[in-house]
Chains A and B, each alone.
Chain A
Amino acid sequence: MLAAELKKITKVYPGGIVANYEVDFDLRKGEVHALLGENGAGKTTLMKILSGCLKPTSGFIYVEGERVEFRSPSDALRKGIGMVHQHLTLIPTMSVLENLRLGLVGQRFDMRRMLTEVEDLSRTLGFKVRLDSPVYALSVGERQRVEILRLLLSKARILIFDEPTSMLCGPEIDRFLALLKSLSYKGYSIVLITHKIREAMHVSDRITVMRMGRVVATLDKDEVRDESYLVELMVGERLVPAVANARPSHSKEALLTVKNLVVNDDRGLCKVKGVSFELYAGEVLGVAGVEGNGQKELVEAIAGLRRPVYGEIIFERKNSYSGRMNYIPAERMELGVAPTLSVAVNSVLRRFDDEEFVERGNFLNFSKMNEFAKRVVSFMNVRTPSLKTPVKYLSGGNIQKIIVGREILTPSEVLIAEQPTAGLDAKSAYQVRKALSELASKGVGILLVSSDLDEILELSDRIAVISDGKIVKIFEKEEADPVMIGSYMLAGEGLGHNVRATVSTD
């Protein structure tokens, strides 16, 4: 029995980008169906069509065998289809309760009934939600659960998740995937949009692979013998899985020295509680930690975005030409690009002090700008209709590639890379890692902050584990071990004593 079916869906965006072309897709009742593909393959567009957020240019939608047309997401929700977007759609200044209630507007409302339903759902799904706390105070994982709760309250039977694990880390991911599974056992039909093959293989019953706006294949999970087969379907070629990390041992020349740094967050809570480290030339220093343990504030302080309360950040410009610190921010749209400006301008966005692009301090040299933009685009394989296209029309992955390409190709002494591959597909992530590794072998010091421990292990020469605002341990690459790093990551969260005890006897 099919819960929903899409037939011959074509979507052409204004501007002529064909996001979907004659796509067929079906969802069985009670299954977890992974929609797998690279960035810009058209997965999100397709599901936005199913959830009523976008209108297809042509094609048909069937829900439980009945032909439907959605004029809005609420139309789709009335038919039981709800989507959890990549950017969560909660109102941060409102309380959890108010946000849940917003999901029920237009319906007869009964506070007591809603509270019992919330309680029932929370119990069966193992959620703990504080209804009166404002959403901005919740972690990303908690917000996601609130959003799921809201969909369930509004009686959605088909749940679509767009890259739900991209903002989660380690244990939270496992917890989330288990939740998906249990939802499907309860009879919910689930679409999981993802580019992570392991995740798709882990929870789904069927996998549909998309590439360049088309469906390449739909497979039962049992049919998939080999994960690399899926990679091939996704990207059309085989890849080297890991970056060969064979750099000559780095020097002991400190480019960046951080001493006793104390930083508060926006609400005035102390997030970085006395951090000291040195970043050497030609090394990748990975910062591992559970999200929200001060990484964000640490990076912002070093990048000059946040005034530290106490401590020193010493950045010595050894090389007068490239004596600069580059920064790949986690918040791409806010800090990384000017969304309405073109690819070309965004490629040189951080170099308006550079004689090469701005002559005599005022006059833009467009041919030089375009030349550099072309290098960024070809270096990172950015998919864009032209250099003149405003970056906001590109997919999230392509925007990230522009930022990474720009920061890598702009000469620097120190590069701060914050979640450089979050939301990127395997192939692009590989490109980014490779580029970072090569950059380090040229003598640039890289501070890599990532919630992806595999990435940190793959790239780093040293790994600093941050927990509760303190660097609790710095591992050399040789002695780094995921389990041990994991236990240090949780050291500040109450497990501390046991873990430290075990580690010290080691």
Chain B
Amino acid sequence: MVSVEIVVGLLYSSVSLLTPILLAGLAELLVERSGILNLSLEGAMLVGAFTAFMVAFYTGSLGYAMLAASIAGVALCMLFALLTITLALDQMVTGLALNLLTIGITSYFYRASFGWYVSPIPPHVETTLQPVEIPVLSQIPILGKVLFNHLPHTYAALALVFLSWWLLFRTESGLKIRAMGEDPQTADYLGINVNLTRYALLVLEGGIAGIAGALLSIGYYNMFLDNMTQGRGYIAIALVILSRWNPLLLLGAAFIFSFIDALQLRIQAFNVPFLPYQFALMLPYLFTIVLLLVAGRKVKGPASLGKPFKKSR
């Protein structure tokens, strides 16, 4: 039946689109639980996308590309950490500034490598990341098609949902992370190394965000475009708030977002009369705002989220 196939296709691409946002969101969630608001997540994804494309383009190796993407993400987040943790600058301003910087840098080096005019066909990579079919499970009717024929990263992201929930709420490390997000001074009194932990979490976030960005350039597309992340990092941050800093809820929120995203792609493709494609493009973001209005009210995050912490000695 055609309608079933459409629905399966829609769900399949929802799960597929979900991956980068979920990965980035989970990393940001952990970082925010420790009290750091890292807006440069967006920038880390962008440098990841760019670096992955460049390395894949010149070496042809997707493995090196992913590795380089995560290193680039880590580098950006370490710059953020240096400025906001060690030098205790304002996290919001630093994050935004770094994002603007990355847009400039990636576009600049892209042109430095390929010249100003890249049309009609922009440079692209020959091989992209391929889905992995999970042997038995993918044979399950409908569900198998929706869930078990994806990039390895999708499986990793789903596993990470439960892993990070377990880390936060079932381990001592999670207890420490949550404590410093609420009150870093107290955490420090209790002998928790606040800054070191936050650095470590930002390393993790940088690596994951880099990979999430790489998925865009060498997973779903085969090229790099200016500002290719298009605010997906910010959306991930909004979804973290929406999920009340809970990984399980984040999975739900991210799925709803990507479902709308997949839906709007189809609306565009169907070319509905009187509905310009820009309107469809707007839908996921509009929906995020509506969702925040409905479910995001009176949501209280970690008490010290975004506040610079300086030890008083």
Contact = CB atoms under 8 A, between A and B. Distances in A.
Interface of A: 53-55, 72-74, 77, 85, 89-94, 98, 101-103, 105-106, 109
Interface stretch (B24-32, B64-72, B110-118, B181-189): B181-189
Given A91-B182, A93-B303, A98 B191 contact: no
Contact of B179 (A73, A91, A109): A91
A91 B313 contact: no
B192 A105 contact: yes
B153 interface: no
B190 interface: yes
A77 B185 CA distance: 16
Given A89-B186, A91-B186, A106 B191 contact: yes
Contacts of B172: 101, 105, 109
B313 A102 contact: no
B191 A77 contact: yes
B175 interface: yes
A90 B183 CA distance: 9
B10 to A, nearest CB: 39
Contacts of B191: 72-74, 77, 105-106
A102 B175 contact: yes
Given A94-B178, A94-B179, A102-B179, A89 B189 contact: yes
A262 B303 CA distance: 30
A55 B172 CA distance: 29
A286 B4 CA distance: 74
A73 B189 contact: yes
Interface of B: 172, 175-176, 178-179, 182-183, 185-192, 303, 312-313
A97 B195 CA distance: 25
Contacts of A89: 183, 185-186, 189-190
Nearest to A109: B172
Interface centre among B172, B185, B186, B190, by most chain A C-beta atoms within 10 angstroms, is: B190
Given A54-B312, A101-B172, A102-B176, 19 more contacts: A53-B189, A55-B313, A72-B191, A73-B189, A73-B191, A85-B189, A89-B183, A89-B185, A89-B186, A91-B178, A91-B186, A92-B182, A93-B303, A94-B179, A94-B182, A102-B179, A102-B190, A105-B175, A105-B190
Contacts of A98: 175
Contacts of A72: 188, 191
A54 B183 contact: no
A73 B178 CA distance: 20
A77 to B, nearest CB: 7
Contacts of B313: 54-55
Interface centre among B178, B186, B188, B192, by most chain A C-beta atoms within 10 angstroms, is: B186
B189 to A, nearest CB: 5
A469 to B, nearest CB: 24
A103 B179 CA distance: 11
Contacts of A106: 191-192
Nearest to A13: B312
Contacts of A85: 189
Interface centre among A55, A94, A102, A103, by most chain B C-beta atoms within 10 angstroms, is: A102
Nearest to B311: A72
Contacts of B185: 89
